[in-house]
Amino acid sequence: MQALTDAKLGLLLLSDTKAPPALSDIYSLLEREPNQVQSAIQTPNARAAALATANQDIDAAKHLILSMLTHRNMLVPISFLPAEILARIFHFVVFSESVQPYFPTLKLSCVYFTHVCRRWRQVALDDSTLWTHFSDYPQNSEWIAEQLSRARNAPLVIDLGGWLGNHMFSLFTPHISHTRELYLRNWSFFDKKISQEVNIQKAAALERLELSMTNTAPMSKHHLFLKGPLPELRIFCTSGICFPWSLVPRVRLTQLKVTYDVEVPTSKASLRDDVNQLIDLLVNCPSLEVLTLKKCLPGALSKFSGGQTIHLPQLSQLCLDGTSSRITNLLKILKLPPSTTLCLNCTSENTATYNDYHILPFLLAHFNDPAPVKFRSFRIILNDDMGHVISMVASTSLPMSPIPHIHGIQASNDPEFSLSFHDLAEPNNRVNILRQACNVLSLSNLESLSIYSSTPNEFINWSKIFQHCTEVTTVKVSGCGTIGLLQALTPPQRADTTWTACGKGGRGGKRKRGDNDRTTGPQVPDDSDGNGPAPVHVWIFPKLTSLLLEELNFADAVPGLGVLYDLILSAVQRLKANEMPLTALHIDYCMIREKPARALAQFVRDFRWDHYTGNDVDKGDDREDYDDYNNLDSESND
């Protein structure tokens, strides 16, 4: 009887059992002295009953505080947004382009929305499209199952790698029927069980399928992820997987990309079948907008095509990578719209029966039919660091920046033309390719030119190549092999009759004996076109306004001119003396001392220098003036 009395007393002290306690009652109970409460409870049963009541009161207090927070959240401005607008904001955060692909955990941004407040959680859970994207992270089967449940029947985007594990991937196979995009990267196609699970699923909603392996390997029959109808498939991409062309789905493809790591030789017995299958595939995909074939082109395409022409009327981009002959043979049988952009990466062959020049007539036909494509920017790279390489990029638009940085050098965001040759056996071949390619392309409207060359002793008659490019205003010169171009940028002295100004109607004359002007270049050798000796110097780009110099050593010797600094100083001096329009001179990653660099600043309005002097400059060799930088007015007064 005493225990029951103590329990009742404890309950009365701690709470009102008829209704949830008010906040003021909770405060009053908390303010009681602990010994008052303990003295009123004398038995274990009473203490247990009082403790249970206290827990109930705590829960009630939490509920009261949460209710107050909910009421407060309803008063903030964002709570007045309709649920549709709030969900749209969630989409911008989750699917923002700023999310880095190397941090797939950021795709879990939608989880954070559910932890802010009750309304945000409900809006996020009601929108199934927020939960449709899956990647390898986190590798938690419970979370994958929960996210699939929240996505319900919305179209899924599944981007997985082989390291996810078979037990994880099996969670997705029942949902392939409503998967819109499926990416299987670095996947082991030799797991027969997983392949069979996928193959029995109907992928009626699949629009994009990408399959890749780290190393090029054949795909066996039981590893094909291509069985069954794919009526909505528009984009099909594979990388590192060898398979017959007949296995590519014959649907309304708009993008087809097949990439091998290395060019896989085709046996003579299957060569004809391989060619016929590729031709049949392209013929049955007239809706193609993007076609990329790298290291996978069969040989003798034109030989086995039977003179057939493949029309791709909607193709906007063609990217090919392989030997020069295989790329040329494919171009022979393709009929492309004039607006198709070309990205051709050729491996030189230089055989007795074939040379790399065979591809140039097709470029001429493509970019001049029905009217010549007028290019405005042009980039050239001549690199010997990885074999003899030449790369050219041309665009009808100008770069985003008037003078782009060397590490982000691009003719434009979307160049219409890109051509490169690798492993050229003869270095002179690339000079001939460059000259002939420039003759094929329409460069009369060229405004921006960027040239990088790492070969110091390679002679290129830049004046001959660009003599018709009189509209150029911006030039970027990089590398020690561009000294000849800098010579061509230097206008003649007014009294010098041995120089010819392109576009000005000038006529060169004989040079006076005894005239030993050290800024005049050496005699140019005969042109290979058989037209006799070229003029001593042909001045190009009379409208030049911006000049960027990169990766140059201003102390390098220039035959007949002293050092490179003398040549550049002479160029800017004469441009100013002749009232030419050069207004900007930028020097980046060049070896030049501060005083000579500052001396150049007086000749242009916009002068920029990154203050890089190079590690190879001899600090003990006091050549700050490069022989004569103190005599800056010696030529400007001529």
397 and 539 in a single domain? The answer is yes
Alpha-carbon torsion, ordered 62, 63, 65, 69, to 10 deg:
130
Residue 351's pLDDT is what? 63
Convert the pLDDT of each residue in 136-165 to its tens digit: 776 688 888 999 999 999 999 998 876 666
Amino acid at 195: S
Of 211, 243, 275, the residue that ends a domain is 243
> Which residue bears the tokens 């470029």?
363
**Choice among 80-94, 95-109, 205-219, 549-563 with the minimum mean pLDDT:** 95-109
Number of domains the chain contains: 3
The mean per-residue pLDDT over the stretch 425-441 comes to 82
Nearest in space to 346 (alpha carbons), one of 390, 406, 291, 394: 390
CA dist 573 and 119 (Å) reads 71
Give the H/E segment covering residue 636. Answer: helix 633-636
How crowded is residue 57: how many other Cβ atoms within 10 Å of its Cβ?
A: 18
The answer to whether 292 and 259 are in contact (CB under 8 A) is yes
53 and 136 in a single domain? The answer is no
421 and 491 in a single domain? The answer is yes
Q: Is residue 403 part of a domain?
A: yes
19 and 162 in a single domain? The answer is no
Q: Is residue 634 part of a domain?
A: yes
The answer to whether 384 and 423 are in contact (CB under 8 A) is no
Q: Is residue 316 part of a domain?
A: no
Helix 44-73 to helix 23-31 angle, to the nearest 10 degrees?
A: 140
Backbone angles phi, psi at 293, to 5 degrees: -130, 110
CA dist 212 and 222 (Å) reads 16
37 and 175 in a single domain? The answer is no
70 and 141 in a single domain? The answer is no
CA dist 208 and 249 (Å) reads 12
Of 243, 271, 292, the residue that ends a domain is 243
Average per-residue pLDDT for the chain: 77
Q: Is residue 294 part of a domain?
A: no
Residue 467, classed as helix, strand or coil, is coil
Residue 201's pLDDT is what? 74
* Beta partners for residue 586, in sequence order: 548, 608
Encoding tokens for residue 212? 């890749």
CA dist 135 and 151 (Å) reads 14
Helix 118-126 to helix 44-73 angle, to the nearest 10 degrees?
A: 70
Encoding tokens for residue 143? 């979370």
63 and 146 in a single domain? The answer is no
Convert the pLDDT of each residue in 204-253 to its tens digit: 899 999 988 876 655 544 345 556 678 899 999 998 888 888 888 878 89
Of 226, 243, 260, the residue that ends a domain is 243
More confident residue, 492 or 565: 565
The answer to whether 370 and 346 are in contact (CB under 8 A) is no
The mean per-residue pLDDT over the stretch 114-130 comes to 90
* Beta partners for residue 476, in sequence order: 450, 548
145 and 54 in a single domain? The answer is no
544 and 448 in a single domain? The answer is yes
Q: Is residue 395 part of a domain?
A: yes
The answer to whether 406 and 477 are in contact (CB under 8 A) is no
The mean per-residue pLDDT over the stretch 55-61 comes to 89
Q: Is residue 226 part of a domain?
A: yes
55 and 158 in a single domain? The answer is no
Burial of 451 from C-beta contacts in 10 A (0-12 / 13-18 / 19+): buried
Q: Is residue 168 part of a domain?
A: yes
**Choice among 222-231, 308-317, 456-465 with the minimum mean pLDDT:** 222-231
475 and 613 in a single domain? The answer is yes
Encoding tokens for residue 34? 């602990």
Range of the domain at 239: 132-243
ω before 402 within 30° of 0 (cis)? no
CA dist 154 and 564 (Å) reads 65
CA dist 200 and 222 (Å) reads 12
More confident residue, 109 or 5: 109
Residue 527's pLDDT is what? 43
Q: Look at residue 337 and tell me whether its pLDDT is greater than 60.
A: yes
145 and 37 in a single domain? The answer is no
Q: Is residue 512 part of a domain?
A: no
CA dist 587 and 598 (Å) reads 11
